[in-house]
């Protein structure tokens, strides 16, 4: 095992997949000469040259469309959005073209493409740069959505996403790029999409979550452990495809569940998960499932208001106590 950062793990995944498959290339704003806005592509231009590490104009719709066209021609593009907030400009190419072309062509036209970049809030980036964009992507059949929370998951899942025959929205987190963790040295370390991971085992209540909020859930679990409450934390890792079996197994074990995510509550990912739990595991529940989400407002710029809007470990502890009737 090597201890590396989340950023370095992503870089390793890109480097190894580009060495393995000459059809893989990276394109986006500042990914070449500047090594990427968050330095994920550091050093790749020197190794692979400017035909495979491609700087694009500031036009998300344009370079996403170029990527979709390249994928339809059989190449395997990785399209970097400086942030998924900007990817909203490119949704026509993702939802109307990439997601549908293999289905509409009866499988004759491929579209193996990864859209990746940071998602959600960081620190005081305000309303237009702090959105959790999972819902926009997970709603459309044909697009897979992946949200790694650790360096190992970042590397293993990105390699799987690049090899996948379908479009994958690979949502990272700006606040995780410097987080360190152990990553297997194996250069063929791949984590299958659609397989959740139990990050912490417990018996009293399950916290279901994905992406950056996995770390908030683990903080809450530590706090509750001091009060004698055993918390299980299930990291979905992929929102679509969804590992229903692992979710239901945990809920049937603890009989109580809290869903935690960074996005808004209305029609959010949690609404889908809770609906599924209610339908498939109702007889095992000892309390209604509770959600912890961002406040239903555009993200404020003021630091104190931003902290109030984000889901916190304290709010997760309160939600767990609520389903435990404590």
d(C-alpha 188, C-alpha 17), whole Å: 9
Instruction: Kindly name the residue from 17, 60, 174, 262 that is annotated as catalytic.
Output: 60
To the nearest 10 degrees (0 to 180), the angle between helices 313-323 and 213-225 is: 60
The per-residue pLDDT for range 106-127, each reduced to its tens digit, is: 999 999 999 999 999 999 999 9
210 catalytic? Reply is: no
Give phi and psi for 108, each to the nearest 5: -80, -30
3-class SS of residue 217: helix
User: For residue 111, which phi and psi values (nearest 5 degrees)?
Assistant: -155, 70
Q: Is 201 a catalytic residue?
A: no
Ranges of residues in the chain with a pLDDT under 70 are none
Model pLDDT, residue 282: 97
> Which uninterrupted H or E stretch holds 77?
strand 76-80
Spatial neighbors of 263 by CB under 8 A, at least 6 apart, are 120, 131, 132, 134, 135, 269, 270, 293, 294
Which of the 8 DSSP states describes residue 153?
A: H
- Residue 161 DSSP class: H
Q: What's the confidence (pLDDT) of residue 104?
A: 96
pLDDT at residue 187 in the model: 77
Strand ranges inside 29-112, DSSP E = 53-55, 76-80
- Among 30, 129, 139, 280, the active-site one is 129
**What pLDDT score does 307 carry?**
94
- What is the pLDDT at residue 186? 86
Strand runs (DSSP E) across 186-230, as ranges? 197-200, 205-209
pLDDT at 209: 98
- DSSP-derived pairing of the beta strands 257-260 and 168-172: unpaired
């Amino acid at each position: 095992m090597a201890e590396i950062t989340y950023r370095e793990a992503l870089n390793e995944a890109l480097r190894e997949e580009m060495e393995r498959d000459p059809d893989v290339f990276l394109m986006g704003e500042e990914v070449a000469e500047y090594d990427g806005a968050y330095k994920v592509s550091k050093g790749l231009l020197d190794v692979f040259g400017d035909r495979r590490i491609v700087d694009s104009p500031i036009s998300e719709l344009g370079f996403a469309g170029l990527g979709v066209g390249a994928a339809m021609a059989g190449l395997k593009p990785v399209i970097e959005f400086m942030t998924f907030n900007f990817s909203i400009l490119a949704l026509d190419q993702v939802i109307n073209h990439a997601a549908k072309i293999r289905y509409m062509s009866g499988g004759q036209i491929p579209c193996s493409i990864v859209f990746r970049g940071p998602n959600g809030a960081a620190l005081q980036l305000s309303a237009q740069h702090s959105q959790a964009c999972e819902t926009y992507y997970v709603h459309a059949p044909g697009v897979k959505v992946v949200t790694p929370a650790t360096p190992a998951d970042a590397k293993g899942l990105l390699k799987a996403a690049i090899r996948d025959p379908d479009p994958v929205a690979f949502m990272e987190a700006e606040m995780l790029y410097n987080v360190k963790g152990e990553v297997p040295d194996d250069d063929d370390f791949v984590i299958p999409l659609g397989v959740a991971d139990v990050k912490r085992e417990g018996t009293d209540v399950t916290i279901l979550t994905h992406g950056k909020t996995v770390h908030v859930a683990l903080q809450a679990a530590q706090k509750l452990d001091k009060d004698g409450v055993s918390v299980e934390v299930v990291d979905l890792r992929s929102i679509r495809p969804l590992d229903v079996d692992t979710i239901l197994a945990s809920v049937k074990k603890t009989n109580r569940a809290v869903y935690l995510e960074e996005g808004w509550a209305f029609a959010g990912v949690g609404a889908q998960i809770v609906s599924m739990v209610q339908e498939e595991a109702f007889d095992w529940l000892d309390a209604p499932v509770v959600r912890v989400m961002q406040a239903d407002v555009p993200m404020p710029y003021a630091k104190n208001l931003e902290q109030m809007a984000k889901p916190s470990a304290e709010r997760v502890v309160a939600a767990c106590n609520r389903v435990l009737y404590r």
